[in-house]
């Protein structure tokens, strides 16, 4: 049985991990965002709002490694130990014999499908929604809104990908393409720009396509769940390919506290009080 330690280590760090490629993706997105704002004009003020600074704190929490040290690292090590000790048969490794390039392609496609399904579940399940709605509380979209996510929400996605790694068993290094693709795409679609990929919106999620998912308008709720590929929404009947960029983002009803630390405890308080409702 091959050693999956490099993959476990990758999953243990803050998703998708801080390395040269990730840093390059972030720097490139800053350049793209600056160029986009220069073209659009008049919207730079939103980067200095209290909401935006909350997103910056989330970004530092994840890319700074705090999530990896305090949440995903301990969980990943405990799961690895449990699998190694009690359930090594769970390492099915269906993709292990494939060429590395094909492994990467399989992991990208199946990994994105996994995240799509978890994303839908996060909206449908009233318990998971309390954690996921933190991400939807932002009404001023910027690339850093990607990181506005409760650690419980991130952990659910990490656990799903952990299980996928057991089933597929990709070779060391195969995780990197999906990791960087997810990072770049997640930053791009949260820019808030009214950018469409035209006919390719039926294949890949664009900023306009994902903006509909963050819309505050009821007709857009539970639409466009796709993370990287939009064809999952087409296949499952949740695609909205016709709407323009929404007039407003965020959640209806009372606003969540605009505080990084208060938002970390807010879902637990809500669940304890019995006030849970899916979107």
Tokens of 263: 């938002």
> Whole-angstrom Cα distance, residue 251 to residue 214?
8
Residue 199 pLDDT: 94
Over the chain (279 residues), what is each successive 10-residue block's mean pLDDT? 43 46 75 82 79 93 85 88 94 89 91 96 97 96 94 93 90 76 88 92 96 95 96 98 92 90 95 71
Neighbours of 175 (CB within 10 A): 23
Burial class (CB in 10 A: 0-12, 13-18, 19+), 261: exposed
Q: Which long-range contacts (CB under 8 A, 24 or more apart) does 254-263 make?
A: 255/137, 256/133, 256/134, 256/137, 258/50, 258/51, 258/54, 259/54, 260/54, 260/57, 260/58, 260/61, 263/54, 263/134, 263/137, 263/150
The model's pTM: 0.88
Residue 66 pLDDT: 86
Answer whether the bond into residue 11 is a cis peptide, omega within 30°: no
Sorted by sequence, the CB contacts under 8 Å of residue 14 that are 6+ apart come out as 62, 63, 64, 65, 66, 67, 68, 72
Tell me the sheet residues that pair with 148.
none
Tokens of 231: 């064809």
Cα–Cα separations (whole angstroms), residue 43 to 96, 144, 147: 48, 15, 20
């Amino acid at each position: 049985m091959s050693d999956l330690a490099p993959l476990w280590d990758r999953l243990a760090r803050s998703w998708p991990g801080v390395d040269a490629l990730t840093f390059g993706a972030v720097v490139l997105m800053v350049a793209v965002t600056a160029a986009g704002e220069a073209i659009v004009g008049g919207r730079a003020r939103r980067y200095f709002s209290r909401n935006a600074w909350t997103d910056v704190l989330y970004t530092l929490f994840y890319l700074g490694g705090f999530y990896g040290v305090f949440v995903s690292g301990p969980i990943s090590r405990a799961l690895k130990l449990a699998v190694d000790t009690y359930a090594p048969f769970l390492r099915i490794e269906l993709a292990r014999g494939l060429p590395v390039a094909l492994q990467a392609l399989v992991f990208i496609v199946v990994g994105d499908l996994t995240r799509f399904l978890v994303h839908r579940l996060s909206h449908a399940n009233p318990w998971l929604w309390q954690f996921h709605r933190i991400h939807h509380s932002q009404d001023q979209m910027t690339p850093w809104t990607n990181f506005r996510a409760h650690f419980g929400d991130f952990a659910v996605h990490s656990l799903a990908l952990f299980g996928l790694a057991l089933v597929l068993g990709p070779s060391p290094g195969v995780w990197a393409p999906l990791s960087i693709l997810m990072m770049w795409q997640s930053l791009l679609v949260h820019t808030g720009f009214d950018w469409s990929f035209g006919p390719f919106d039926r294949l890949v999620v664009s900023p306009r396509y994902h903006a509909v998912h963050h819309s505050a308008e009821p007709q857009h709720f539970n639409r466009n769940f796709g993370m990287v590929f939009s064809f999952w929404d087409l296949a499952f009947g949740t695609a909205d390919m016709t709407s323009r960029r929404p007039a407003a983002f965020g959640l209806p009803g009372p606003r969540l506290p605009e505080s990084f630390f208060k938002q970390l405890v807010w879902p637990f308080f809500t669940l304890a009080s019995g006030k849970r409702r899916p979107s």
